[in-house]
Structures are given as C-alpha cells and as structure tokens.
Structure 1
C-alpha cells in the first residue's frame, strides 16, 4: 500500500494528495484497502470494537423497539443496514424479530467489502429474509428503517487548519521514503462553502476534518427512502463542542490492535482510520433533503428507551461465569454513564410520516 500511495503522489503535478484521497485509498482500495482485504477488523482479534458487537442484546433491543414502531405507525417490516461489518447486529436483530412477531421481515445489508460480505454469509442465512446488496439504489424506493452504526466516522475527510487568521488545507506528500503532511493555502471552494453553510467557526491554531462526502451519503439515503425512519449511531460533536479547547487538534485517529494511533499516515492499509462526525451538519443536510430531524440522544438513552432494561430485569443468574451473567455485564457496560455509550449518539430522522406518526416516534425516543 505504501508504494501504491507513493506512486499515486508522484503521478500528480503537485506531488501531493488530499487527506480525503489518502483515506479513501488506505481504507477502500479494492485490493489493498483496509476494509476491503482479508483480515479480522472487529472484536478482540481485530483492531477496534463497536458497541453493537459487545453483545447480541444491542441488536435484540433495537429489533424490539422497531417491531413496536412498525405496529404503532404502520411502517413496513423492512430494514436496511448500511455497512453491517461482521453481521452480528443483523443476526441478533433477525433472530429477535422472529421471536417477537409473526410479521415477515425483510432485511437488506448494503455491503461493499468482499471480506465482510463473506463473513456475513457465514453467519447469516441469506434468502427471502436477509439479502446482501451493493448500493442503496438497488432497493429504491424503500419504506421502513435505514440503520447504520459507525458509518459516517469512516468516511474520507479533508483536513484544514487556521493559522494567522488564514485557512490551509493539510495535504499528504512524500519525503525520504515516508508520508508527510504539507500545509498549503486553502483553494477548495467546497470546503469554504461547508464552513459557511454549516456555521463552523475555527479558533486560531485549530485543525479540523471536513466531511464533504457526508452529503453524498445523506443524499443517497434521502433519495432511496420514500417513507420511514433513519437511525444513525455514531460518535461526533456539535458545532459548539468543536469549539472547545480540547478539540483544537481535530479528531482524526487510527486504530491498530486496539491501540489509538495519532499519526494516520503510519501503516496505510493496515489499520482503521476514523474521525468524529459533524452532527449539526448531518442534521441540517438531512433537513435540506426532507429527512426531518426527530431526536438526538446518547446511545445509552436510546437503548433505555428501546427497553434494554427489560432484558436485564427478566434474566438473572447468580453464576458470574454463565452466558446470562456475561450478557448482563454487557448490558450494564452499554448503559452506565462511564461506559462506551457515553461517547455515542443516536440521530433519528423521518421522511413521509404525518404529524401523529412523528409524535409517536418522538414519544418512543423520550
């Protein structure tokens, strides 16, 4: 991958590429990209862990919550998950749905990674209930729920910095066989437009990531969804939170064998690269495309509203080593204030619902 990136840089007239191009290549190159090639990414043997993979109770709780939504606002029993990873959430959701109701479920997985597609096929019985697809337009128009967990944080981003009152874009170049950063005057008008449209103020000396590709994803979801809800789970900041002194260096990070790596130019193609989501921009982009903002909650608040405590209350086992006790500890880790859920938020958006249906959805999230 390193040699590929060097050749990519040398082939440009400026001898440098944007961070967005670097991240896109490092993560999504068809053969060399981190997400695309073979190798475990999620879990103890991988590089990172997601909240939906701590326990199957996460998928089960969301299945219970959505089954009740389907009944109350008459939505189709259809779900589309964007980027299902190892398929553990989908498996738990589908299994719980079958226990809860006789209503037939259709579950689509949008997955571009050949590796994850193969892992999902080993875990999930594909057929009428669960189908893998490559893009949202394959199911357009769609009514139901579109769900994603840690999708936007993995998008390629540009990096800019404010110094002496002026903006620079941080580019990726090569020097003595290594990848380095190079600051150049900001010339990308799309970045300037993003700053202006979404009221993003940078402090002197602040660095931040600009997710231009986020609008493409939001547009694709809005174009596909005819009637239903969008549930987005991710970590990120509001504009006000971006202005806090602790955010001055931005949020771009790598993860290798569960260790955080500050320099994402290390180990290209071998580690995960991530940045925090711009929540205010995501919500506004949705509103601009008829995805009406309904609620933003911490993940623990969402799971509590989804009834995760019912599972904890109804199942107790004094044996601390039993599967039940292990699951109950996982539940506690998802809802405790100092657990990982505190870093995640759930954004709910709706399209094509009338006022009573929106009100019911809001009540279900409060």
Structure 2
C-alpha cells in the first residue's frame, strides 16, 4: 500500500497529498485498503475491540430500545445501520428487537450501509442471510426512509484533513515521499471549507494540531437528508468541544492501531492499521440543529443506557456460578454502566426529525 501511495503522490503537482486523501487510500483502497482487505479487524484476532464484540447484551438492549422507540412514535419498522462491520451488531439488534415484539420484527426492514465486500460476506454469514437485511454499498444507495438511522463507531473512521500551527499561523499538513518513506510537510491552507470552519470554530490558543472532519460533516448532512421522518442515533468515541479542545489533546487525536497497539505514526503501515480520531460531537449536533433536527439526548453512553432501561435487563438469580448464563449477562450489563467501563469512552447523540 505504501508503494501505491508514494507513486500517487509523485504524480501530483507539488508532491503533496492532503491527509484526507492519504487516509482515504490507506483505509478504503479497493484492493489494499485496511477496511477492504479480507482479514479480521475486530476482536482478539483483529486490531481493535468494539462494544458489540465485547458485550453482546449491548446490541440486544439496543434492539429492544429501537423497537420501543419506533412503536412509541408510530413509525414503520424500518432501521438503517451505518457501517455494519462484520454483522455482530445487527445479529444482536435483531435478537433484541424480536424479543421485544416478534410480530413487529417480522415486518422489519433492516438496511445496512457497508462498503467492504469482506464485511458484506461476514454480515450474511453472521446473520444467516436474513431476508430482512438489505446490504447497501454506500449511503447514496439508501432510499428515503421513515424510521431510525443509527451508527456505532462509524464517524470516527472518516478521513480528515489536518492543520498545524507554524509561527503562530495555521497551515495545512500533508504527506510527501522522501525516498521510499512518507513524511509530513506543510503548506498554506488552500481549501476554502477549511478556512470557513476555522473562522467559526472557537479554537483555544494552546492548540497546536487539529483534525478537520469535512467528510464527516458532509456524511452527516447526507444521513439527515435520507431521513424523511424519524430518529438519528449516533454512538461514537468522541466529546464536545470543551473537552475536545484540551491541553492534553493540543497535538490532535489522529492515531492508528495495529494488533491492539497504538502506533507511533499513522504513516508507518498504511493499509495494515486502523486509523481513527476522536469525534468532535458539537459539529454533528450543530449540523443537526441547522437542518431541522431536535436534540433528544446528548451525553455519556452509560447514562443513555440507564435512562433507556438497561437495568431492567438484569436477571435476578441465586446462582453462585460465575460462569452461568445469568451471571455472564449481568456481568456484561455492569461492564456497560459502571465506572471505568467501556461506556466511559463513548458518547450518544439522539436527534429527531419531523416527529409530531
């Protein structure tokens, strides 16, 4: 993959590749991009864990919550999951949805937007090729819907641009080849959208490096446009601007993981590592408000789960066996809501559109 990127940059005038283009190639190149390769990415054999892979009860509870939310709003049983991954979330959501209302679940239409052929095959395998699931290669293929569009760890995988402070001025960072190596260089900011965002973002003076997620914002706009009536539920590793703009993050949040290890640089092994950043949720919240969405909830994942009723999922039992199904399920629930849990790192944004 590195050789392809080097040759691509050398064909460009000025031998400079913006970060968003580098990340796009490293993650989504049709043959050698990280997400397109035929290999596990999630779990012990992959490079990172997700909440659904660690605690199946998360997806099962979410399925029940989605079912109740659709029924309470008198919406049809239509769901769209953005970034379906290997299909584990969908399998768990379908299980919970069916447990909540088997009849309603029979009518369910479950769209999954997933670009990776490897993941598409995995989804079919994990879900048993469920006829209710309709896999789409891109958001553009999703029809206008009434229902719920939800995502879990979707927006943190979007390519971003990077700006750095040099002599007190913001410059655009990019990639240049030196021999067979990739190194970071800077140039004046040329993209007008980046300039506009910088003018509206209240950036503290101590920040030295910032990710500019233009593709993330554009994707969120497209998602809202696809929803005629219903809800948007966004779960991701992120925070609001007050927390995002912190001295401990003054050098940005862009990072890469391989074999569950944080790499020194995202330029080390393109195509072989997951590249991610911490989502600045205020950009999504503000975009939703601009486009006519009403915010129902913003906050931590644990609080969202508790308010949604996950404590009711605890199974009363007198079984002292820590390996019993009841003990295992209760332990998963506690892992989701108690201090120092995986939920501490995730935020939830719940917005509604045209709900009367």
Class of the TM-score when normalised by the shorter of the 2 chains: over 0.9
Does 2:10 correspond to 1:10?
A: yes
- Per-residue CA distance 1:257-314 (angstroms, 9 max, x = gap): 1111231001100010000111111111122222332221201111112222222244
Residue 193 (structure 2) aligned to one of 190, 194, 200? 190
Match of 1:247 in 2: 249
The SS at the match of 2:210 is strand
Does 2:285 correspond to 1:283?
A: yes
The SS at the match of 2:256 is strand
- Per-residue CA distance 1:207-229 (angstroms, 9 max, x = gap): 11000101221121111100000
CA 25–229 in structure 1, closer or farther in 2 if over 3 Å, else same = same
What is the CA–CA distance in structure 1 between the aligned matches of 2:277 and 2:318, rounded to whole Å?
A: 38
The SS at the match of 1:346 is strand
The SS at the match of 1:153 is helix
Residue 112 (structure 1) aligned to one of 111, 115, 140? 115
**Cα displacement (A) at 1:196:** 2.0
The SS at the match of 1:213 is helix
**Cα displacement (A) at 1:128:** 3.7
| Aligned residues of 2:124 and 2:130 also touching (Cα < 8 A) | no
| Aligned residues of 1:82 and 1:109 also touching (Cα < 8 A) | yes
What is the CA–CA distance in structure 1 between the aligned matches of 2:29 and 2:246, rounded to whole Å?
A: 35
TM alignment of 1:165-204, pairs within 5 A: 165-197=168-200, 199-204=201-206
Match of 2:166 in 1: 163
| Aligned residues of 1:252 and 1:262 also touching (Cα < 8 A) | no
CA 293–205 in structure 1, closer or farther in 2 if over 3 Å, else same = closer
- Per-residue CA distance 1:151-205 (angstroms, 9 max, x = gap): 11000001111233201111111113211111222222211111223x2314245
Does 2:90 correspond to 1:87?
A: no
What is the CA–CA distance in structure 2 between the aligned matches of 1:295 and 1:99, rounded to whole Å?
A: 25
Match of 1:307 in 2: 309
What is the CA–CA distance in structure 1 between the aligned matches of 2:127 and 2:79, rounded to whole Å?
A: 15
Residue 137 (structure 2) aligned to one of 129, 134, 138? 134
What is the CA–CA distance in structure 2 between the aligned matches of 1:145 and 1:315, rounded to whole Å?
A: 35
| Aligned residues of 1:172 and 1:179 also touching (Cα < 8 A) | yes
The SS at the match of 2:34 is coil
Match of 1:361 in 2: none
Match of 2:240 in 1: 238
The SS at the match of 1:85 is coil
What is the CA–CA distance in structure 2 between the aligned matches of 1:168 and 1:6, rounded to whole Å?
A: 22
The SS at the match of 1:235 is strand
Match of 1:296 in 2: 298
**Cα displacement (A) at 1:9:** 0.9
The SS at the match of 1:146 is strand
CA 256–316 in structure 1, closer or farther in 2 if over 3 Å, else same = farther
Match of 1:148 in 2: 151
Match of 1:22 in 2: 22
| Aligned residues of 1:316 and 1:324 also touching (Cα < 8 A) | no
TM-score normalised by length of structure 2: 0.95
TM-score normalised by length of structure 1: 0.92
What is the CA–CA distance in structure 2 between the aligned matches of 1:86 and 1:273, rounded to whole Å?
A: 18
**Cα displacement (A) at 1:69:** 1.5
What is the CA–CA distance in structure 2 between the aligned matches of 1:18 and 1:144, rounded to whole Å?
A: 37
Equivalenced residues, count = 353
The more displaced of 312-321 and 17-26 is 312-321
**Cα displacement (A) at 1:6:** 0.5
The more displaced of 285-294 and 110-119 is 285-294
Match of 2:273 in 1: 271
What is the CA–CA distance in structure 1 between the aligned matches of 2:338 and 2:314, rounded to whole Å?
A: 13
What is the CA–CA distance in structure 1 between the aligned matches of 2:142 and 2:341, rounded to whole Å?
A: 36
Structure 1: stretches of 5+ with no match in the other structure: 355-366
Q: RMSD between aligned alpha carbons? A: 1.6
CA 313–324 in structure 1, closer or farther in 2 if over 3 Å, else same = closer
The SS at the match of 1:98 is helix
**Cα displacement (A) at 1:315:** 5.6
TM alignment of 1:336-351, pairs within 5 A: 336-351=338-353
The more displaced of 176-185 and 304-313 is 304-313
**Cα displacement (A) at 1:127:** 4.6
